[in-house]
């Protein structure tokens, strides 16, 4: 229709395409006002400054969050580095088990540690040996799986993994140790039912299991050779 006023959408689109309009017509800024949520009126420039200030606060909060994540990752990297170096220095299975327990308790504040190896006779110290058959009968789901799990287990499973300390464990993470064959299970327990949850990310504890299995296999090989001789 001739002489029809442009719609709000058309005005908004035109202003977006011509962002310098108010620079060429600064006198209009003095006449424009935008109602504030409090009922007061502010100029367009003041409102723009307010919007930019809000965006700046949001961006700073995002940056702060990213920096916090970076700091947490740095701390975690330092803990993982110390743990892996300690495992690599171990010259025997008992030394490996002892280093693993010490590092998990000191660096990661782990309360209960169980390193259970399948058919590894003659173990002393922090590691214990069970037959693969016994593990398959007592905790079949843990032995059959290849992925680390976290959460709450049944009382009989906790007793099998942690012995007399099983009654104190309210949540735990269980990492299958597998490299070419099933080597054992690493269980890390907590007295808090909320510490290990089924929804938690198991990336890092799975990585611990992968490193441990690769360090463990050559240490178990001499014992296996002696048994077959």
Encode pLDDT of 168-216 as tens digits: 999 999 999 999 899 999 999 999 999 999 999 899 999 999 999 999 9
pLDDT the model gives residue 52: 80
How far apart (Å, rounded) are the C-alpha atoms in residues 22 and 14? 12
The tokens 């037959």 sit on which residue? 131
pLDDT digits (tens, 9 = 90+) for 111-122: 999 999 999 876
Which residue(s) pair with 149 in the sheet?
A: 174
- For residues 132 and 143, what is the distance between their CA atoms, to the nearest angstrom? 8
Q: What's CA 105's distance to the chain center, in Å?
A: 18
The confidence score (pLDDT) of residue 164 equals 94
Q: What are phi and psi of 110, to 5 degrees?
A: -75, 135
Instruction: Assign domain 90-228 to its CATH architecture.
Output: 2-Layer Sandwich (3.30)
Supply the pLDDT for residue 226.
44
Sketch the domain layout of the chain as residue ranges: 1-63, 90-228
Of 158, 166, 93, 154, the residue nearest 128 (C-alpha): 93
What is the reported pLDDT for 48?
A: 73
Element (H, E) at 42: strand 41-42
This prediction's pTM: 0.71
Cα–Cα distances in angstroms (integers) from residue 19 to residues 5, 13, 34, 52, 54, in the given order = 21, 10, 18, 16, 21
List, for the chain, all residue ranges whose pLDDT scores fall below the cut of 70. 1-3, 26-27, 29-45, 122, 124, 222-229
């Amino acid at each position: 229709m001739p002489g029809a006023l442009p719609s709000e959408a058309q005005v908004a689109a035109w202003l977006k395409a011509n962002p310098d309009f108010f620079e060429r017509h600064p006198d209009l800024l003095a006449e424009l006002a935008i109602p504030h949520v409090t009922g007061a009126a502010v100029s367009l420039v003041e409102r723009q400054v307010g919007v930019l200030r809000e965006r700046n606060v949001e961006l700073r909060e995002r940056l702060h969050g990213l920096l916090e994540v970076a700091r947490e990752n740095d701390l975690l990297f330092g803990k993982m580095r110390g743990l892996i170096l300690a495992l690599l220095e171990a010259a025997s299975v008992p030394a490996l088990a002892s280093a693993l327990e010490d590092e998990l308790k000191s660096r990661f504040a782990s309360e209960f540690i169980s390193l259970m190896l399948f058919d590894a006779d003659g173990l002393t110290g922090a590691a214990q040996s069970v037959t693969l058959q016994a593990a398959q009968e007592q905790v079949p789901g843990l032995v059959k799986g290849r992925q680390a799990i976290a959460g709450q287990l049944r009382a009989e499973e906790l007793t099998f993994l942690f012995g007399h300390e099983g009654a104190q464990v309210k949540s735990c993470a269980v990492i299958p140790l597998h490299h070419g064959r099933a080597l054992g299970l690493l269980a890390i327990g907590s007295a808090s039912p909320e510490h290990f949850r089924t929804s938690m990310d198991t990336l890092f504890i799975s990585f611990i299991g992968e490193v441990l299995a690769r360090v463990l296999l050559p240490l178990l090989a001499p014992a296996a050779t002696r048994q077959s001789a």
